[in-house]
Structure 1
Amino acid sequence: MNDVFYGNTISDWIVAAGIAAAVALTLYALRYFIKCRLGKLAQHTETKIDDILLEVLGSTYFVFILLAALYIGSLSLALPAKTALILSRLAVAGFLFQAAMWGDAGIRAWRNHSQDKHGLLGNHGGVSSVGTLFFMARMVLWVVVALMVLDNLGVNITTLVASLGVGGIAVALAVQNVLGDLFASLSIVLDKPFVVGDTIIVGDAQGTVEYIGVKTTRLRSLSGEQIVFSNAELLKSRIHNQQRMVSRRATFSIGVTYDTTREQLQSIPGMLKAIVEAEPNATFDRAHFARFGASSLDFDVVYHIKTADYMVFMDTQQSIFLKVFEQFGAAGIDFAYPTSVVKLEAGGAGEPDVDQPSASRRAPYQVIKPR
């Protein structure tokens, strides 16, 4: 036991091995205990933080536990300075790589949680945008860890960092438009001003969103062609999302002839109200005698459709129009149409006489013709 081996006795090596084994078992048991506790807690909570922590803890590998245990055990030994330095650098490098594994697992778990939370699993464009962002985050993490490991191993990284900084600025300037579209895509995916399947209006373009990509968003217009927008330019525009409508406000005007009697005019608003209220998907707002038109007496009607479905709106409007046509015909109320009055005056010899209508018959709809 008192034999000296590499500057330490056999008993010192046994003690160091015992310390290393105890540390390894303790760390492994602690990892197992925390993982079990977090697993039970995650089953009874709605928050995803414990699930992410569970995945992070699951990326703790036994080889790093063993490396940490061997380093702690070696502290009880009298080792040469060079050997101790090598062991300490290996231990720090191992800890950095383990920290990188934790960070990488956390980023991947956060990515999966974000895709699930924002409903991106069926949206390939959204998955691409979020995947690109998290890929960049993972790349930055591993680059930083690699630089720290190189610095820990004694490599002078000052020049390397300066080169990376200059190169990064050059790359950022070269691809600034692409990066702008990328972050705009991320904003669309996370903030969700619209999603795939929504019908939107952007400027004079209208269509259904087919794809939200890393750089572009694509619409299918009503006429069938595909409209492609840059994500950055799209967010700078005013977007009308018709899919987010809770209800529709509908209006229409009806013109009747000037021959309509006062009693008929008074009955029209009530008739229109009854017709609209008879529709199950419509809520009546108002109906009024609104104006004296050039060729008609005009009534304005306002009502609301209880759903944003365009087909329901069109079916309801069609039903209302058919009932208006039917009931106005039954009540003897004539719809107006554009007409003009021709007034002829007897001004000279040889001109035909014209029957001049009475004031009550001199209406915009009556065309007076010579006999």
Structure 2
Amino acid sequence: MRYVLLGNPIQEWATALAVAFACAVLLIVIRTFLIHRLDAAAERTETRVDDWLLRMMRNTYSVFIVILALYLGSLMLEFPKKYEVWLWRVAVTTMLIQAAIWGDTGVRVWRKRYRQAAIGGTDSVATAASTAIIDFILRMIVWVVFTLMILDNLGFNITTLVASLGIGGIAVALAVQNILGDLLASLSIVLDKPFVVGDFIIVGEQLGTVEYIGLKTTRLRGLGGDQIIFSNGDILKARIGNQTRMFTRRAAFILRIRYGTPPDKLAAVPQMVKDIILGQESTASFERAHLRELGEWSINYEVVYWIKSPDYFVFMDTQQEVLLNVIRGLAERGIEIAYPTRIILRPPEDCNEGNPPLH
């Protein structure tokens, strides 16, 4: 007696199952072989390609292999056209889901390697925020694209869907244009890196250390301990001074000498200041010391020099030592530092009454 199931004899079903089993075993063996070879290659090389392929092979799930093997076995059978179409759609959908998982895995591997490469660097903390933003966008694109491909494979009219999404997207974009602007600004910060987490920056009248770079906001820790929050769009529109990226610091001050100082002593002041500045270990270079102007109540010298370290405490320590030595040098030479004075004169009638004039 000949048994028939869905229009195919039982012998052909047995053949189809045997083919499916053989394909499944062959695919699993190939996956295991590739994992073994790629694992060995990843330990020997520094390239990222073998790491990506290794993670993708490890994320090739057995359930997808089984479904693909069953489809290959079904090719040995004869089915009505409707069944063949659905078998094809199931197989393609399975492969698309697996491809989406591979794409998602590739993005994750890139994020991990990027973070590892930045460990120990000056922007290692900022890498977490940077990669989180890019990782989110890339993974969203991967899953949206493959979801549309799966829907198209299942027979849905994605042209209408995409058009509807486009119209809806325009409406949503108009409604949340500020949020989208901040999102794009965050990408600009991540890719262009005008500053990173840990940098001390000045934005307009606000200054502080960058604590967090998010999808919408960037947060600073101010000198007073308060947290200053900027939207990413606003912070890019402002002038940003990044103090952390200085290699040297410029130091300048005005030295005011009292009127009545002899000219020969005034002429010796620039050389004295130069010798004091060059005597500091932290000084990178001496730029100038000139008699700048004759002020209302003092003779003014302008002094400019450069400090090797960008560290603010080194700057203050050096400036303090220079100023103290300048005061000592002026005192040794008998040169007085000027300070503003005010003379108040009493009216003549008050002086006639026995009150002396005030100075």
Q: Same fold (TM over 0.5)?
A: yes
1:3/1:204 Cα in 2 relative to 1: closer, same or farther (>3 Å)? same
Hey, what's the Cα distance between the residues in 2 that align with 1:292 and 1:65? 86
2:60 maps to what in 1?
Answer: 60
Hey, what's the Cα distance between the residues in 1 that align with 2:48 and 2:18? 39
- Could you report, residue by residue, the CA deviation over 1:79-138 in whole angstroms, capped at 9, with x for unpaired residues? 343333332222112112211221222233334444555668756xx7567545544543
Equivalent residue of 1:228, what SS?
A: strand
- Could you report, residue by residue, the CA deviation over 1:323-366 in whole angstroms, capped at 9, with x for unpaired residues? 11112211222223346999xxxxxxxxxxxxxxxxxxxxxxxx
Aligned 8 A contact 1:151 1:157 in 2: yes
- Could you report, residue by residue, the CA deviation over 1:144-199 in whole angstroms, capped at 9, with x for unpaired residues? 43343333333444443433332222222211111111121232234321123322
1:180 maps to what in 2?
Answer: 181
Hey, what's the Cα distance between the residues in 2 that align with 1:270 and 1:229? 48
Deviation at 1:10, TM superposition (A): 5.2
Aligned 8 A contact 2:274 2:289 in 1: no
2:350 maps to what in 1?
Answer: none
Hey, what's the Cα distance between the residues in 2 that align with 1:338 and 1:248? 30
Structure 2 counterpart of 1:324, one-letter code: V
Structure 2 counterpart of 1:189, one-letter code: V
Equivalent residue of 1:43, what SS?
A: helix
2:95 maps to what in 1?
Answer: 95
For the pair 1:193 / 2:190, whether they are aligned, the reply is no
1:142/1:213 Cα in 2 relative to 1: closer, same or farther (>3 Å)? closer
With structure 1 as the length reference, what TM-score do the two structures score?
A: 0.79
Aligned 8 A contact 1:272 1:287 in 2: no
Aligned 8 A contact 2:133 2:187 in 1: no
2:281 maps to what in 1?
Answer: 280
Aligned 8 A contact 2:287 2:306 in 1: no
1:69 maps to what in 2?
Answer: 69
Hey, what's the Cα distance between the residues in 2 that align with 1:90 and 1:220? 54
Hey, what's the Cα distance between the residues in 2 that align with 1:145 and 1:118? 31
2:352 maps to what in 1?
Answer: none
Structure 1 counterpart of 2:33, one-letter code: F
Aligned 8 A contact 1:28 1:62 in 2: yes
Equivalent residue of 1:227, what SS?
A: strand
For the pair 1:213 / 2:228, whether they are aligned, the reply is no
1:307/1:17 Cα in 2 relative to 1: closer, same or farther (>3 Å)? same
Structure 2 counterpart of 1:304, one-letter code: W
2:235 maps to what in 1?
Answer: 234
Equivalent residue of 1:165, what SS?
A: helix
Equivalent residue of 1:291, what SS?
A: strand
- Identity over aligned residues, as a percent? 50
- Counterparts of 1:164-179 in structure 2, within 5 Å, are 164-179=165-180
2:323 maps to what in 1?
Answer: 321
Which one is further off, 312-321 or 264-273? 264-273
Aligned 8 A contact 2:291 2:302 in 1: yes
1:143/1:225 Cα in 2 relative to 1: closer, same or farther (>3 Å)? closer
1:253/1:144 Cα in 2 relative to 1: closer, same or farther (>3 Å)? closer
Structure 2 counterpart of 1:331, one-letter code: R
Higher Rg of the two aligned structures: 1
Equivalent residue of 1:63, what SS?
A: helix
Which one is further off, 101-110 or 303-312? 101-110
Deviation at 1:235, TM superposition (A): 0.7
2:353 maps to what in 1?
Answer: none
Structure 1 counterpart of 2:276, one-letter code: I
Equivalent residue of 2:44, what SS?
A: coil
1:219/1:314 Cα in 2 relative to 1: closer, same or farther (>3 Å)? same
Hey, what's the Cα distance between the residues in 2 that align with 1:63 and 1:231? 44
Deviation at 1:224, TM superposition (A): 4.7
1:225/1:155 Cα in 2 relative to 1: closer, same or farther (>3 Å)? closer
Structure 2 counterpart of 1:25, one-letter code: V
Which one is further off, 234-243 or 269-278? 269-278
Deviation at 1:280, TM superposition (A): 1.2
1:162 maps to what in 2?
Answer: 163
Hey, what's the Cα distance between the residues in 1 that align with 2:136 and 2:266? 70
1:334/1:148 Cα in 2 relative to 1: closer, same or farther (>3 Å)? closer
Hey, what's the Cα distance between the residues in 2 that align with 1:325 and 1:221? 34
Gapped runs of 5+ residues in structure 2? 345-356
2:349 maps to what in 1?
Answer: none
- Counterparts of 1:1-371 in structure 2, within 5 Å, are 3=2, 5-6=4-5, 7-9=7-9, 12-117=12-117, 122=125, 127=128, 130-131=131-132, 134-294=135-295, 295-338=297-340
With structure 2 as the length reference, what TM-score do the two structures score?
A: 0.81
Which one is further off, 146-155 or 57-66? 146-155
Hey, what's the Cα distance between the residues in 1 that align with 2:328 and 2:79? 106
- Could you report, residue by residue, the CA deviation over 1:302-329 in whole angstroms, capped at 9, with x for unpaired residues? 2211111111111111111111111221
Hey, what's the Cα distance between the residues in 2 that align with 1:307 and 1:54? 46
How many pairs were matched up?
340
Which one is further off, 83-92 or 110-119? 110-119
Hey, what's the Cα distance between the residues in 2 that align with 1:174 and 1:137? 24
Aligned 8 A contact 1:129 1:182 in 2: no
Hey, what's the Cα distance between the residues in 2 that align with 1:284 and 1:154? 74
Aligned 8 A contact 2:292 2:301 in 1: yes
